[in-house]
Structures are given as C-alpha cells and as structure tokens.
Structure 1
C-alpha cells in the first residue's frame, strides 16, 4: 500500500495541517545504509519532517534541501524534498550508536547535537534559491523544524515526527503531522491546541492501531472539525542511474579523468542516498575519456 500525505484545514479556518504515513518508504530506506536503530530513526524523522515542510511552503515543481549539522556523532543530515511528495536523504554516520535516553528511547538529540544549524534552501526553479538558517533548538529534529518554521518562515507551527524502529533495525511505523496557525487563530485557540497536543497519544501507538494520516488529524481536532483538502502519495526520488553518473564523470577535467584511469584503472562511486555501489571499469572509463576528448572539452 502506497504511503500517503494529507493536507487539511480546520472548518473554522484557524489551522491548517499536514499528516503523513511513511512506513513503507522507511522500510525501504532502512535497507540502504546498514543503519543502526538510532541512525534509521534520525534519518526517518528528517525525511518525514522535510516532506511535510515542503508541502507546507512549496508549490508545483519547487523543491527544498534541508541540512542539519549539530556536530553530534551522527554527523550531518541532508534531505531533498519536493512539493510533489518525493524525498531522499542520508546521514553521514548511519551506524551511530548511543545508549538509550532517560525515556528508554533512541537518543536522537545526543546523536544529532545542538552545536550547529538547520539550513533550508528552497529551489524555485530560478537562478536565485532562497536559504534560511536557524540555530538548532534541541537536536530532536521535530522541535528544530518547528523553530525554523516560526523564525524563518514566520509561520507558527507544531511539527511532530515519529519513527519506531526495532532494535534489529526494522521499521515498525513512521509518520507525523504538522499544524500551522492561520491569521484567524486567537491566543485562546492556540492555547487550546497546545493542550490537545500535550495530551495527544503517541503517533506510533495510533499508527500501530491502524490509524491513517486523516485519522490522526481527526483525533487531534475532532471528527467534525477537519476538512481534508488533498491526498498525495509519497515516494523516494528515483535512484540515480549509472548512465547519469557517467554524465557526471564526464564533467570532470580531462586530465583528472586520465589520472584516475592511470592510477586506479576505474572508478567506484557510492550513492550516498541509497548506499549502492556503482563501478566503472577501465574500459568504461576509457570510453568516457574518449568521448570527452573527441568533443574537445
């Protein structure tokens, strides 16, 4: 069953919301990098949060890139997401391991760290992308995206992301929601929402009980108070093909390619998004060089 993202608005026009079930996608992601339980949790939170944020602030073919670097042992987290529901990302140290935190859960905050920034670059399809940057708030990722939405986008929001991973690294559930205030929301409305959020059952618990993204929002606001606007399938970006990597290699200077051929007799490329290894043997590299040399580049 395909993963879904739903966009909704409360019937009183005071809040808009996005909710997502990304369980199947995360099951696939978990196989890519031989990641630890903690590494999969971190990447999943970043992928889900970025998908929701892209659907909240982008439109059409626009996309964004999220970089989280808190100087923690997990290293840097990089995600690309689109308004069309596609996403990909990686953690530079996906095998990171730490003791469980005080709540006996994967210690995402300690692994990510807070000595750094969350950076979002929005690509509008023009020559001038927009970049926003905020200091990391907690390293929990959901909190940091909440802080970014308020400070950089000027959209007060609550971002909740959940990835439940078994100790063996297999994904049980993955999902989340984002609620943003609209101009008609009063301080009292916001206080009431914060109370509901504080008492809201764990996302993973609800998902294990079979609740869908729409159900999560109905549970939060009440059955009669939410209007579902759109439903979008979410998927990983298609993997980069060997042909596309050959085109990338061909952009290198000719003398650099010739040096690689003489010294290494081929090229091994590791796709950071999927962990897959792409090899170009001596003959294939010679063909790239010959084609480049023939064009005079």
Structure 2
C-alpha cells in the first residue's frame, strides 16, 4: 500500500488537520542510508514532521528544507520537501549506537540533543528564500516542530509523529498528524482538543493497529467530526540522474574538473539523500571540460 496524506477540517470549523501514513518512504530511506535502529527513528520522525509541515504551509512550486542541529551524537537531521508530496532526508551519523532512557526505550532527545535549533528555509519561485528558526525545546522532533510553528509561523499547532521498529531493526509503521487552530477556535474547543490528545491511545499503538490517517484524526476529534478536503500520495523525491550531475559539473571551473582527471583518474558523485553513486570516467570529464570552454566562449 502506498503512503497517503490527508488534509481535513473539523465540522465546527475550529481546526484544520493533517495526517499521513509514511511507512513506505521511511522504510525506503532507512534502507537507502543503512540506518541503525536509533537513526531510523530520528530520520523517520524528521521526515514525517517535515512532510506534514510542508503540506500545511507550502503551495504550488514552493519547497522547504529543514535542519535540526541539537549538537547531539546523531549530528544534523536534514530533510527537504515540496508541496506535491515529495520528501527526502538524511542524518550525518546514520550508524549511531543505541541510547536508552531509564525505561529502556530509545532516547531520542539524547541522540538529537537540545542545545541547538530547528531551522526551516522556504523557497518560492522568483523570490528570496525565507528562513525561520527556533530553539529546540525537547529533541523529540514533534514537540520542536510544534514550537517552531507557534513561534516562527504564528500558527497554534500540535505535531505528533511516530516510527515503530521491529525486533530486527526494520521499520514496521510510521506516521503522524498535525492539527492547527483556526481563527474562530474557542478556548473551550482548544481545551477539549488538549484533553482528547491526552486521553487518546498512543500514536504508535494506533499505527500498529492499522489506523488510517482518517482514523487517527477521528481518534482526536470523534468519528464523523472531520471533513476530508484533500487526499494525496507522498513519497521519496526522485534521485537526480547522471545527466543532471553532468550538467552540475559543467558549472565548475575547468581546473577543478581537470584535477579530477589528473589526481583521481575520474570522479565519483554520491547523492547525500539517496546514497547512489555515479562515476565519471576521464573521457566523460574531458567532454565536460569541452562543454565548459564552449559555454565560456559564448
């Protein structure tokens, strides 16, 4: 079953809500980067939260890049997403060893760290990038996105994300939700939401039990209390082709490309987000040098 995202609004028009099942793209990202159990959860949570946030704040051809740097042993968490449901990401230490809390569970805050920031950069055609930043409040990622949306976007929100792992360190299920208060939301409605979030089953349990994105939202607001506005697919962004990397190399100075021939007898390009490797032979690099010279002559 492919990953699915839904956008909805409560029947009382007090809240806008988003939910997604991201099991397949989190599984695929974990496989691509050969992440450890702990890194799979951190990367998965970052990708889920980014996908939800992108759907709530982007439109058209806009896209965003997020970076979480809590100065923890996982290093940076980097994720990119667009308004059309494409997502990709990586962590700088995918082989991080397990860190457990006092209850014997994976300690996400200890891995991410809390002495740092969440930065979101939004890109739109024909305009300068917008950069927003907030301090990390817990390192749990969902809480940190909640705080960012409230502080930098001025949107009262709650973000919940979960990645549940199998005993063999593979991803079993992954998903999340984002709820935003609309201008007409009353204090009573917000209090009821807080109580519902407190009393509902854990997100991990719901995902393991097969809850759909709609069922997750109905667990929060009540059965039949939300109207679906949009249903869409989400998935990993396509990896640039070798031809695309070829074009990128033509933007380099000739001396740098020549050095690849003289010193390394070729060049290997490794995609940070995909881990895919492309090798350029000396003859291919000489062809690129010819293209650079032709472009400069123009």
TM > 0.5 fold call? yes
The alpha carbon displacement at 1:251 in A equals 0.9
Q: Unaligned regions of 5+ residues in structure 2, if any?
A: none
Aligned to 2:82: 82
Note the aligned Cα RMSD (angstroms): 1.3
Aligned to 2:118: 118
Contact 1:30/1:169 (<8 A) preserved:
no
The alpha carbon displacement at 1:167 in A equals 4.5
**Aligned residue pairs, count:** 297
Contact 2:5/2:20 (<8 A) preserved:
yes
Q: Distance in 1 between matches of 2:74 and 2:275?
A: 16
SS in 1 for 2:263: helix
The C-alpha deviation readout for 1:111-144, integer Å capped at 9, x for no partner, is 1111111111111212311111101111111010
Q: Distance in 1 between matches of 2:100 and 2:291?
A: 54
Matches within 5 A, 1:84-233: 84-233=84-233
Query: Normalising by the residue count of structure 2, what TM-score does the alignment of the two structures yield?
Result: 0.96
Aligned to 2:58: 58
Contact 1:37/1:167 (<8 A) preserved:
no
Query: Normalising by the residue count of structure 1, what TM-score does the alignment of the two structures yield?
Result: 0.96
Aligned to 1:237: 237
Does residue 1:13 correspond to 2:13, yes or no? yes
Contact 2:37/2:98 (<8 A) preserved:
no
SS in 1 for 2:197: helix
The C-alpha deviation readout for 1:147-171, integer Å capped at 9, x for no partner, is 0000000001010000112253311
The C-alpha deviation readout for 1:171-223, integer Å capped at 9, x for no partner, is 10000001111111122211111111111212221122221000111111111
Q: Distance in 2 between matches of 1:283 and 1:25?
A: 37
Aligned to 1:2: 2
Runs of 4 or more consecutive aligned structure 1 residues displaced over 6 Å after TM superposition:
none
